[in-house]
Amino acid sequence: MCRACAARAASRDLRHRSQRQPAPSAAVSRREDVILCILARNRQGDVVKLSSRAYQSLRSGIGTLGAGLAVAAVVGVTLVGCAAPGASGTRISTGGGTGTPPLPVLRREDMLWLERVTFGLNSAGVAEYRRLGRERFLDAQLRADGQALPPAVAAEIAALGVAHADPQRDLAAVNAQYKTLNALADGPDKEQARKTLNEQGNNLAYEAVRRDVLRAVYSPAQLQEQMVWFWLNHFSVFQHKERLRWLVGDYEERAIRPHVFGRFKDLVMATLEHPAMLQYLDNVQNTAGHINENYARELMELHTLGVNGGYSQQDVQNLARVLTGAGVNAGDAPHLKPEWQRLYLRRGAFEFNPARHDFGPKALLGHPITGRGFDEVDAAVTLIVRQPACARFISRQLATYFVADTPPPVLIERMAQTFLHTDGDIAAVLRTMFLAKEFQAALGGKFKDPMRFVVSSVRFAYDGRTINNTRPIINWLNGLGEGSYNHQTPDGYPLTEVNWASSGQMSRRFEIARAIGAGNAGLFDPEDGTAATATGFPQLSNRLYFEAVEPTLAARTRDALTRANSQQEWNTFLLSSPEFGYE
């Protein structure tokens, strides 16, 4: 019996926690490192300690809920306690006999704030917030330094092929393989070669998604992971176009990740120079005399200024001309006239080829741009990102993702001012947003998109314990229609509730809640096919629940939880509840 639990429980109104709390799960009870605390309440409502005999009976009746309830009935109590599963017991102190004084309980608004800034609550995040307080916690998140992944997860990622991706080398190799393939005569050999190559691409893209998921669930740098998701979605690319399956991992790693809190212009330039973006939006085909406007249009419409951001069709055409010659080359440099050689640029598989560039004079957004090569691109992007329309558009997108489906205009304006004054310092804009009273006022009202729903469920259910298999998570995300690198059109996934709360989505969401709540969902079956490392189901009525979730529950949700017939059902209803579905 842990004193901290008892004290905390006793200090609260227990009326709403008097549901038939089921026995701890078999999986939990078998583990020696579990910190198990059983609180009980007698008919008068006092918290009591179960007799050791009753407790032993409970343990022996584990797995059979009826037996546990029967024991509870015999001793005249209702179980109300918590059982923290697995590694959560070893990762954090629950105060269970450790002798450390209980830390102050966080207010509900702190919990909601923390939930929004992260991909969902876990014990480590709560502990860190307690240690640092809100502003220091935020600043640590915005720095994203010294927040290492758990070693097991870091090792898993390091072992992935995608961790060693190199666009130039990989593109050259895959281009050569396709060349060999196309030279083969039709027949089984050709089909086999095609299949092998397809599997290679699929596997690399899958590994990139797997790395995404592992980091989203386990990285202590939670805001960084949310921002990687946000910018990947903002500068969305689709894995099934051209050779993108070989490129998306590197795109995330080198174009997006280093710049998520940096200067917006650097982020735009990093995506602009990445082969994934150049292939995806067809700039590889954009050459002098054969203009392809695709990227130029989206660069202003989707990436910087927004659809009504004050540019004209003429600006689109002129920006396209500015972008001519920016392309991809994984092979040898072209033979160029001497006067073009000094203008030729090559960074990895990115190439600026002056022979394909339109050197004529252009005007963009009312400013003249003299033809001089890739410097034009830098000048054009600088001009674009310094437009007030860009500051507002980016601020609105950030606020739509983090604050509310319709963010308060006054907040957008304040963020936009920060953006303009700091020349697009993303961290500064985020700080303005997260510390705003408008942000505080909007807490609890943002519907979790599939990524946030699935990741927060796994974080909550397994609380730091390392899963072995990310495939179920990726399947859930794909099933809910928000798989990474899977959005065909360049606009990225929508950021608002209306797109994710359809009837089909809601019922599927409940089924995922059931998969997580009622079993291990295959999360502990290693991807190499070796034996599962755990069975059973998670225990969601844990300390984190009582601290962070329970106080937010509406009467209807409490009522639903009391009607659960088993821990599995209870878990399912909790993850399905409106309170868990919003943050």
Partner 1 sequence: MNKQRRRLLRLGLTAGLAGMAGAAGLAGRLYAAPAGGPRFLLVFLRGGYDSTNLLVPHASSFYYESRPTIAIAKPDPASNTGALALDGDWALAPAVRETVGALYAQRQAAFIPFAGTDDVSRSHFETQDSIEMGQGSAGVHDYRSGFLGRLSETLTGTDAGNGAIAFTDALPLAFEGALTVPNLSLKNVGKPSFDERQAKILRDMYAGHHLEAAVSSGLELRHDVALKMADEMTAANRNAINTKGFELEADRMGRLMRDKYRIGFVDVGGWDTHVGEGAAQGALAGNLASLGKGLQAFSQSLGAEWHDTVVVVVSEFGRTFRENGSHGTDHGHGTVYWVLGGSINGGRIVGAQQRVTQATLFQDRDFPVLNDYRAVLGGLFRSMWGLSPAQSAHVFPNAPVDLKLV
> Smallest gap, in angstroms, from Cβ of residue 515 to partner 1?
9
> Smallest gap, in angstroms, from Cβ of residue 569 to partner 1?
7
Q: Are 337 and 310 in contact (CB under 8 A)?
A: no
For partner 1, the closer CB: 122 or 576: 576
> Smallest gap, in angstroms, from Cβ of residue 560 to partner 1?
4
DSSP result, 166-212: -HHHHHHHHHHHHHHHHHSPSSHHHHHHHHHHHHHHHHHHHHHHHHH
Using CA atoms, how far apart are residues 551 and 121, in angstroms rounded to an integer? 14
Using CA atoms, how far apart are residues 19 and 313, in angstroms rounded to an integer? 63
For partner 1, the closer CB: 94 or 239: 239
Nearest to 2 by CA among 525, 545, 403, 542: 542
For partner 1, the closer CB: 60 or 565: 565
Q: Are 96 and 551 in contact (CB under 8 A)?
A: no
For partner 1, the closer CB: 99 or 188: 188
Using CA atoms, how far apart are residues 47 and 67, in angstroms rounded to an integer? 21
For partner 1, the closer CB: 147 or 496: 496
Nearest to 419 by CA among 381, 384, 388, 383: 388
Q: Are 484 and 470 in contact (CB under 8 A)?
A: no
Q: Are 539 and 567 in contact (CB under 8 A)?
A: yes
Q: Are 436 and 443 in contact (CB under 8 A)?
A: no
For partner 1, the closer CB: 58 or 564: 564
Nearest to 275 by CA among 300, 303, 242, 321: 242
Using CA atoms, how far apart are residues 128 and 445, in angstroms rounded to an integer? 24
> Smallest gap, in angstroms, from Cβ of residue 571 to partner 1?
13
- Locate 405 and state its tokens: 């489906």
Using CA atoms, how far apart are residues 238 and 254, in angstroms rounded to an integer? 17
> Smallest gap, in angstroms, from Cβ of residue 90 to partner 1?
33
For partner 1, the closer CB: 218 or 493: 493
Q: Are 457 and 513 in contact (CB under 8 A)?
A: yes
> Smallest gap, in angstroms, from Cβ of residue 247 to partner 1?
17
Residues that bind partner 1 (CB under 8 A): 186, 190-191, 194, 238, 240-241, 301, 307, 479, 481, 488-489, 491, 494, 498-499, 501-508, 510-511, 514, 556-557, 559-560, 563-564, 569, 572-573, 576-578
> Smallest gap, in angstroms, from Cβ of residue 71 to partner 1?
25
> Smallest gap, in angstroms, from Cβ of residue 305 to partner 1?
13
Q: Are 114 and 129 in contact (CB under 8 A)?
A: yes
- Locate 544 and state its tokens: 């984190």
For partner 1, the closer CB: 217 or 516: 516
> Smallest gap, in angstroms, from Cβ of residue 10 to partner 1?
28
For partner 1, the closer CB: 156 or 569: 569
Q: Are 344 and 301 in contact (CB under 8 A)?
A: no
